Structure 1
Amino acid sequence: MIITVASGKGGTGKTTVSVNLAHMLGSKVQLLDCDVEEPNAHLFLQSEPKEQTVVTIPVPQINEGLCECCGECAKFCEYHAIVSFGTTPLIFPEMCHGCGGCSIVCPKKAIGEIDKRIGTVETSEVENILLVQGRLDIGMAMAPPLIRAVKNRLQQGLPAILDAPPGTSCPVIATLQDTDFAILVTEPTPFGLNDLKLAVAMMQEIDIPFGVVVNRFGVGDNRVHEFCKEQQIPVLLEIPDDRRIAEAYSRGELIVDALPEYRELFQGLIEKTMHQFNTQTA
């Protein structure tokens, strides 16, 4: 089973839920940190990468001797990574998605490809957790190809928890693809509710079963709970607004280790997630 932990905004506690959930599974589990622009799961697992692989994407290279400046490549590119004004096309590698379509449509086969580095995939192992994380190079804009490279490390037969990037844009969709169940983490504030609505709309559009975790329960108001009740969205867990949790977080400690009384809550999250998956997919 593949579970993705996501949210409509950053700072809600996705990584907190992901690492503690993985730790509480007890058995062998894969934890994929797909927040490749700012991976931080390793900070709570005290792990150092044992293996590092460079990830590249193919970007176009123009053979000016063959190019007739027809502009077909620029017409094809939806991302405007190639621009032609009746002269040799200009290439903007940072905007290229590496699809290779421009080289296919070129009538003179004047477009080849070169590899452009976008980041690395790092793997490590801590107790029952096999951690795989992507790290996007500074200045790179294309997170989805690196996220796919991280997900290519998934091992069949092992449960997996994916820590998604915040928001509802392309990197999140790339993470959610082929997911069995999603956990949306929010907080009971007006900002939390606004971004939860965006995340819920996204989940309904891509049709993946999901539930909600409310972090910092006790602050704000009850509008998040009212929204979930109206939309018939299950609330899987409420994490109290406990200063001790923030202190443990600042030390890079897992909640379930620093505060054992919370182990039961995360064990309940595992059970409720499995129940909702079985109910919503029946």
Structure 2
Amino acid sequence: MKIAVLSGKGGTGKTTVSTNLALTLNIPYIDCDVEEPNGFIFLNPVLENEEEVFLQVPEIHKETCTLCGACVKACQFHALAKAGKEIVLFEKLCHDCGACKLVCEADAVTFRKRAIGKIQRGRTEKIQCERGILNIGEPMAVPIIKKLLASLPEETQFIDCPPGTSCNVVNSLRFADAAILVTEPSEFGLHDMKMAIELVKKYSIPYGVIINKDDQTENMVKKYCKESQTPLLGAVPYSREAAIIYSKGGMLCQESSYKKIFEEIAEKMKEVFRWN
């Protein structure tokens, strides 16, 4: 089972929850938040290997190019433009679709590799960990996310999704069998959680909610879950102690006061997702 951990907005504690649950359940952790992959800071795995991720971008050969402009018209992403006596490439807009070569009757298009990021794999004492890292200045995270998730083994994994509900999240969620939505008890948290729920529903996969920084009152998120019959998997209380542990890069589940909380959440997950 692939369990996606997502949130409608950043800063809710998605990575805190996913890393602590991964350790509690001894389940491999995959960090798909490739623009800001923070999970390794807390899990601190020993790196075992690393590989670069490439896109294929076109090269237009002037000696054979007839400047017909067919490649420019075919590019839906405006990565090519006809400027005077040459075809100009804006390589960071290229999506590696290959349409430019298909329409070039002069056979003036070839491809070269362009590195956009990397994938790292490592291991803690208990679990396997993987993450994607997007190179600074690169605009497209999806190719790294797809490569990271395309060859996952059948065993259960935690997929730490990017924040929000963008195409990066959609491409992470496509591989999931269940979803955990992490939110906080605030107007913004509730609003964006509802957006994330609508996204999860499109994939018809079971889901549940975890409240982070819980104020331990009958707050708006708990009321929403009760009224909408949304499974509430548990709540991580807001405390100064948690903030101190987090700021030092520590794991909450290794502290006695929080260990039981994550163990109870893990049991609730198995009940809601019918997962053994």
User: Separation in 2 of the partners of 1:220 and 1:275?
Assistant: 24
User: Separation in 1 of the partners of 2:37 and 2:57?
Assistant: 25
1:263 aligns with 2:259: yes
Match of 1:136 in 2: 134
Where do 1:1-282 residues align within 5 Å?
Answer: 1-26=1-26, 29-84=27-82, 88-156=86-154, 158-218=155-215, 222-257=219-254, 259-278=255-274
User: Separation in 2 of the partners of 1:130 and 1:96?
Assistant: 33
8 Å contact from structure 1 (residues 30, 154) kept in 2: no
1:226-263 alpha-carbon deviations (Å, 9 max, x no partner): 33233322111111112111111111111111x22322
Change (3 A) 1:153 1:31: farther
8 Å contact from structure 1 (residues 69, 86) kept in 2: no
| 187-196 vs 97-106, which moves further | 97-106
Point out where structure 1 has 5 or more consecutive residues left out of the alignment: none
User: Separation in 1 of the partners of 2:31 and 2:85?
Assistant: 43
SS of 1:69's partner is coil
Q: Given residue 97 of structure 2, which amino acid in structure 1 is its aligned partner?
A: C
SS of 1:36's partner is coil
Measured after TM superposition, the shift of residue 219 of structure 1 is 7.4
User: Separation in 2 of the partners of 1:87 and 1:171?
Assistant: 37
Change (3 A) 1:11 1:83: same
- Return the TM-score normalized by structure 1: 0.90
Change (3 A) 1:87 1:173: farther
- Return the TM-score normalized by structure 2: 0.92
| 131-140 vs 63-72, which moves further | 63-72
Change (3 A) 1:221 1:278: closer
Point out where structure 2 has 5 or more consecutive residues left out of the alignment: none
Change (3 A) 1:107 1:134: same
8 Å contact from structure 2 (residues 181, 207) kept in 1: yes
8 Å contact from structure 1 (residues 59, 116) kept in 2: yes
User: Separation in 2 of the partners of 1:90 and 1:229?
Assistant: 56
8 Å contact from structure 2 (residues 5, 160) kept in 1: yes
1:43-65 alpha-carbon deviations (Å, 9 max, x no partner): 11223422111111111111223
Q: Given residue 119 of structure 1, which amino acid in structure 2 is its aligned partner?
A: G
User: Separation in 2 of the partners of 1:37 and 1:231?
Assistant: 33
Measured after TM superposition, the shift of residue 100 of structure 1 is 1.8
8 Å contact from structure 2 (residues 149, 175) kept in 1: no
Q: Given residue 118 of structure 1, which amino acid in structure 2 is its aligned partner?
A: I
Measured after TM superposition, the shift of residue 205 of structure 1 is 2.5
Change (3 A) 1:198 1:83: farther
How many residues end up aligned between the 2 structures? 275
Measured after TM superposition, the shift of residue 74 of structure 1 is 2.7
8 Å contact from structure 1 (residues 71, 85) kept in 2: no
1:3-34 alpha-carbon deviations (Å, 9 max, x no partner): 111111111111111111111113xx321111
SS of 2:118's partner is strand
SS of 1:117's partner is strand
User: Separation in 2 of the partners of 1:120 and 1:186?
Assistant: 29
User: Separation in 2 of the partners of 1:88 and 1:226?
Assistant: 62
Measured after TM superposition, the shift of residue 93 of structure 1 is 1.1
